[in-house]
Every structure is written in structure tokens, then in C-alpha cells.
């Protein structure tokens, strides 16, 4: 029986995910590094903004930070409630999940890697996909809390496997983004009307999430709204490539895509959305996708 939950890291995703918890649980602690955000969340949604050490006395503790390095540093000095389950929704590193699940056993705390997909709109509407790795019993205990923001919730295996699925998912997004940028600059170079071409492709076998939403809603209208930062996508493609290398596999498309996304992130202005990756192609070809 879950009496209390906590959410740590009220960023673009966490702020919206934590907003659903008070509808399901009486005691909801929130903590954020910039503490004003936690106080604002408490005012807006009826959560309780508390010190970090207080937040980790909850039965279920969610975190959603940029990287596994941030999560490890945050957890290191903490005394967490015995019997608690830490559910990390960061898009993190599988080896770190394995390490943290071992480390937290000493405090009698289970660690689940539970990254999410569905962007900020999915966080807002509680329609996220959640891919969970770790102990099955801990997963079953935490599931009612995850359901507050998750729609499709899957236990995909042992510790680290949730992070692995997320990294490969985002690699597929990145591959599509690069190939769509190349394909559509080529079409424009040949004088094709891009909006008409997009309608054809979205009714054909080449369609993807990028052609169905990202191209129309972020790129062709030149809005590039910042909801998922390009450096975070570069981080995810790096995790996917590391997984390939650890398995000693050959994956040239993944390796090339990681280089391209990392280069586009290095070249991009600060606070660029992931969709801005196409601007690198635009600067090479002198063709604007609009």
C-alpha cells in the first residue's frame, strides 16, 4: 500500500508528470534544485515542497534529471527510507541502473529504471509510455504510482533494460530525423512542393514519427519549440552507441547517426530543440526546409 510518493526534478517532463500524483495520493512531496520551482508546483497542484532528505522518506520516489551522472550524484549522500522504491524516469545509462540497484540494496531500497517516451504533451496528458527495468516485485508495487502519468507501462527485463530500450528508441528517432533532413532537402533541390510530398509520404511506407509530427509541427513551420533539448538527444544516441560497442556488434547506421546528432548539437545555439538538428543539413545544402 503506497502512503506517500515523491518527485525529484521538476523540469520540462518532471513538472508535468508530478502534477498528476495528487489526484491519486494524499501525500506528494516535490523537490527541485531550483527550489522556487518546487514551491510553484506546490501552489499550482497541491503537492508539498520539501527538503531533499525529507522527500526521500516517501514510499515511492520518482526522479527525472538530465543524466545518470546527475542521479548518482544526487543519491550518493542520501539516507533513503528503508523499503522504498526509487523509480528513475531519467533517460539514463543501463550500467548506472545496475550499479544503483546494487548500491541501494544496502539501504533496503529497490531501484527501477523507468524512462518515459511521449514528450511534454504526453507528460501533461498522462499518456506516457514507460519502459521499466528491474526487480519484478518492485515493479508491481510501484505500478499504481507509475500509472498516474503512464499509459503504456511495460516491464522489459532486469535492471538497465528500461534505459536500453529508451536509448534505442531515441536512436531510431535520430536516424529518422537525419534521413528526413537529407530526403527533404533533396526533394526541395529538385523543385518538389514539400507539403504535398509530405502528404504522399505519410500515406506511404516511408512514414515515421518524424514525418507524421516533427516535420510539420516543428520544422516546416520554422517554430522549433524547445520541449526536448538537442543535447539530451545527443546524450541518448551516445548511450545507444555505447550499448552497441559493449555488445561488440557492428552497427554503422547507429555510429554515423550518433556522430551527426552530436555534431548538430555542438553547432546548435543554446536551448535548441531536438528538431533543430536539421539546421546542420540546411547550412550544408543552403536549402531551408519550409
Q: Which one of residues 13, 60, 145, 146 is an interface residue with ligand NDP (CB under 6 A)? A: 13
d(C-alpha 5, C-alpha 45), whole Å: 14
In the complex with ligand NDP, which residue's Cβ is closer, 64 or 132?
Answer: 64
Q: Does 124 participate in binding ligand NDP (rule CB under 6 A)?
A: no
- Toward ligand NDP, which CB reaches closer, 6 or 187? 6
Residue 157 backbone phi and psi in degrees, to 5: 150, -160
Q: Which is nearer to ligand NDP, 130 or 145 (CB)?
A: 130
Q: CA–CA separation, 177 vs 159, rounded Å?
A: 29
Considering only 11, 134, 150, 160, the residue that binds ligand NDP (CB under 6 A) is: 11
The answer to whether 282 contacts ligand NDP (rule: CB under 6 A) is no
Q: Which of 30, 228, 276, 278 binds ligand NDP (CB under 6 A)?
A: 228
Decide if residue 66 touches ligand NDP (CB under 6 A): yes
| Residue whose cell numbers read 555505447 | 242
d(CA 63, CA 86): 8
Q: Which is nearer to ligand NDP, 227 or 288 (CB)?
A: 227
Report the residue count for the chain.
290
Q: What is the CA radius of gyration of the chain?
A: 20
Nearer to ligand NDP, 116 or 201 (CB): 116
Taking the complex as a whole, the smallest distance from the CB of residue 251 to ligand NDP amounts, in Å, to: 21
Of the candidates 287, 23, 1, the residue with the CA atom closest to the CA atom of residue 142: 1
Distances from the Cα of 218 to the Cα of 167, 195, 229, 274, angstroms: 22, 13, 13, 10
Of the residues 232, 251, 255, 267, which one makes contact with ligand NDP according to CB under 6 A: 232
How far, in Å, CA of 90 to CA of 29, rounded? 18
What does the binding site for ligand NDP look like in residue numbers (CB under 6 A)? 9-14, 32-34, 37, 64-66, 70, 74, 90-91, 116-117, 119-120, 227-228, 232
Amino acid at each position: 500500500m503506497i502512503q506517500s510518493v515523491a518527485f525529484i526534478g521538476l523540469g520540462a517532463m518532471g513538472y508535468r508528470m508530478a502534477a498528476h500524483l495528487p489526484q491519486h495520493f494524499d501525500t506528494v512531496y516535490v523537490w527541485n534544485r531550483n527550489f522556487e520551482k518546487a514551491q510553484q508546483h506546490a501552489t499550482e497542484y497541491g503537492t508539498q515542497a520539501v527538503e531533499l532528505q525529507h522527500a526521500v522518506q516517501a514510499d515511492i520516489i520518482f526522479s527525472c534529471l538530465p543524466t545518470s551522472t546527475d542521479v548518482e550524484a544526487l543519491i550518493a549522500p542520501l539516507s533513503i527510507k528503508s523499503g522504498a522504491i526509487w523509480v528513475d524516469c531519467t533517460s539514463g545509462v543501463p550500467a548506472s541502473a545496475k550499479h544503483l540497484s546494487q548500491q541501494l540494496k544496502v539501504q533496503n531500497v529497490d531501484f527501477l529504471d523507468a524512462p518515459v517516451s511521449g514528450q511534454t504533451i504526453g507528460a501533461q496528458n498522462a499518456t506516457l509510455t514507460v519502459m521499466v527495468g528491474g526487480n519484478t516485485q518492485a515493479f508491481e508495487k510501484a505500478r499504481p504510482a507509475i500509472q498516474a502519468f503512464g499509459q503504456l507501462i511495460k516491464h522489459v527485463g532486469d535492471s538497465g533494460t528500461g534505459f536500453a530500450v529508451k536509448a534505442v528508441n531515441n536512436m531510431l528517432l535520430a536516424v529518422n530525423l537525419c534521413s528526413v533532413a537529407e530526403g527533404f532537402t533533396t526533394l526541395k533541390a529538385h523543385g518538389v512542393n514539400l507539403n504535398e510530398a509530405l502528404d504522399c509520404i505519410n500515406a506511404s511506407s516511408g512514414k515515421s514519427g518524424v514525418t507524421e509530427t516533427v516535420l510539420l509541427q516543428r520544422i516546416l513551420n520554422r517554430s522549433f519549440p524547445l520541449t526536448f533539448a538537442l543535447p539530451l538527444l545527443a546524450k541518448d544516441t551516445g548511450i545507444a552507441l555505447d550499448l552497441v560497442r559493449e555488445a561488440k556488434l557492428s552497427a554503422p547506421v547507429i555510429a554515423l547517426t550518433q556522430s551527426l546528432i552530436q555534431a548538430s548539437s555542438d553547432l546548435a545555439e543554446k536551448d535548441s530543440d531536438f528538431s533543430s538538428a536539421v539546421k546542420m543539413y540546411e547550412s550544408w545544402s543552403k536549402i531551408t526546409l519550409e
